[in-house]
Amino acid sequence: MSLRKKGNIIEINNKVVGDKYPVFFIAEIGQNHQGDISIAKKLIDEAKKSGADCVKFQKTDINEKFTKSVLDSPYEGSNSWGNTYGQHKQHLEFSNEEFLELQKYAISKDILFTASAMDIESFRFLKSINVPFIKIGSGDANNIQLLREATKYSGPLVISTGMQPFELVKEVYDFMKHNGKRNFALMHCISSYPTPLEDINLRVIELYKRRFPDIVIGYSGHEIGIEVSIAATVIGAQIIERHITLDQHLKGSDHRCSLLPEQFRDMIEKIRNVQISLGVPKKILTPSEIPCWNKLGKCLVASKNLKRGDIIQEGDLKTKVSNPEGVNAIFYDGLIGSVLKRDLSPDDVIFNDDFERS
C-alpha cells in the first residue's frame, strides 16, 4: 500500500486525493446488499462500471456497538429483517470470512475495497486485512475511544461529521493533530435520509477548507439526485461519497437516498467534466479562442490618410475587425499623442512599431 501525505493531499493506493487532482469517488454499499453476498458482488460490479474509485461497506461487531437492551428490543416495520433489533442487524452483517471474500472479489474487479468501522473491534479487523483506508462514520465522530485507536493506524482515515456542531468537529481535528495523525480527511455530512435541501448547507465545505487548510475535505451526501454532489465539488470537495443501490424501492432506509448505477455513472461523468472546466484562476486568451479572435478580434486601423511624423489625435484611428496581429483596440487611448513613423491609408492596420512617443 502506497501512502503519502503532503499539505492537503493524501495518496491512497497510488490515487492522489486533494486540490488539483481528480475527485475521489466512494460508492457506499453500506447495507444495501440486504445481507446477500451475491447482491453485494453485483453492487461492486456496478460501482466499478460507474467509474467509482472505491466500494465501501459497513463493518460492525453488534455486541460491541449496541447494548444488550437495544439488541433485545422489538423491531417491527417494513424495513425489519428480524423480530428484534439484534436479529435485524445480524441479518445485515457479513462475517469476517465473507468480508475477505468480498475484498478478494473487489480486487479481482480492480476497484478499491474498504468499510466504515462501527466499533474498535471492527476497526482492528479492517486494519488487519490491509484496506487502503478506513472510514469513521458520523455516528462515531465523537467516539474518542475509537478515534484514539484510529490515531495508531498508519493508513489514511476518512471521517464524516454528520450530527456534530462545528465546535466538536474542531475537537476531532485537534485530537487527531495532537495525537500525531496527519493523513485524514473530514467529510461534510448531514445524517438524515434523505436530506432536505435546506439542511445540506454545502458552504460548510468552504468553512472546513478555510479552517482546516492542511487536510483533505470531502462531502458524503444523502440527498436525492446528483446536483448537490456536483455543486459540492465546485466549492472544493475532493472526495464524494454516495450510496449506491440496485433498486431505490428495496427494503431499507438507505435505498431511497441512494443512487442507481446509471445515476452514479452520470454523476461521476458530470463531476469529471465540471472539474476539468473549473481549470485554474488565470484569465488568458485560450487556444480554443484563437480562431475566433483571428476572425472577429477588434484592432486599430487608420481612419484616414496619415503621414509619417503626424501626431495621432482623436479621430485618426478606428476600431475594426482586421489583422489580428494589429494593436488591440483596448490600447486606443495610449496611442493618442504618439508620433507616426510611416504613411498610412484608411483601414491600414496599426502595429506597435508604427509609433514613437512624443
Report residue 150 as a C-alpha cell. 484510529
Sign of CA dihedral 208, 133, 123, 55: positive
Q: Is 46 exposed, middle or buried (0-12, 13-18, 19+ CB in 10 A)?
A: buried
Task: Identify the pLDDT of residue 4.
Answer: 42
pTM, full prediction: 0.89
**What is the spatial distance between Cα 215 and Cα 228, in angstroms, rounded to a whole number?**
22
Q: Which residues of the chain have pLDDT under 70?
A: 1-7, 357-358
Task: Identify the pLDDT of residue 149.
Answer: 96
In the β-sheet with 5-6, what is the strand arrangement from edge to edge?
5-6, 9-12, 15-17
Structural fold of domain 287-357: Type Iii Antifreeze Protein Isoform Hplc 12 (3.90.1210)
Q: Is 98 exposed, middle or buried (0-12, 13-18, 19+ CB in 10 A)?
A: middle
Would you say 189 and 220 are in contact if contact means Cβ atoms under 8 Å apart?
yes
Length of the chain measured in residues: 358
Task: Kindly state the DSSP code that residue 249 receives in the 8-state scheme.
Answer: T
Would you say 29 and 57 are in contact if contact means Cβ atoms under 8 Å apart?
yes
Domain boundaries of the chain, sorted by first residue: 5-278, 287-357
Nearest-CA neighbor of 94 among 164, 45, 39, 18?
A: 39
> CA angle 163-165-170, nearest 5°?
120
Sign of CA dihedral 259, 263, 268, 273: negative
Q: What is the pLDDT of residues 168-220, one digit of tens each?
A: 999 999 999 999 999 999 999 999 999 999 999 999 999 999 999 999 999 99
Q: CA 181: distance to chain centroid?
A: 22
Would you say 115 and 56 are in contact if contact means Cβ atoms under 8 Å apart?
yes
Nearest-CA neighbor of 221 among 178, 262, 182, 263?
A: 263
Report residue 209 as a C-alpha cell. 477548507
Would you say 321 and 296 are in contact if contact means Cβ atoms under 8 Å apart?
yes
Q: In 10 A of CB 10, how many CB atoms?
A: 28
Report residue 253 as a C-alpha cell. 432506509
Sign of CA dihedral 270, 271, 272, 274: positive
Task: Identify the pLDDT of residue 32.
Answer: 87
**What is the spatial distance between Cα 167 and Cα 85, in angstroms, rounded to a whole number?**
32
**What is the spatial distance between Cα 317 and Cα 213, in angstroms, rounded to a whole number?**
52
What stretch of H or E contains 353?
Answer: none
Structural fold of domain 5-278: TIM Barrel (3.20.20)
Would you say 259 and 43 are in contact if contact means Cβ atoms under 8 Å apart?
no
Q: In 10 A of CB 249, how many CB atoms?
A: 7
Phi–psi pair at 33, nearest 5 degrees: -80, -5
Task: Identify the pLDDT of residue 21.
Answer: 93
Task: Identify the pLDDT of residue 88.
Answer: 78
Asked if the bond preceding 346 is cis, omega within 30° of 0, the reply is no
Task: Identify the pLDDT of residue 7.
Answer: 53
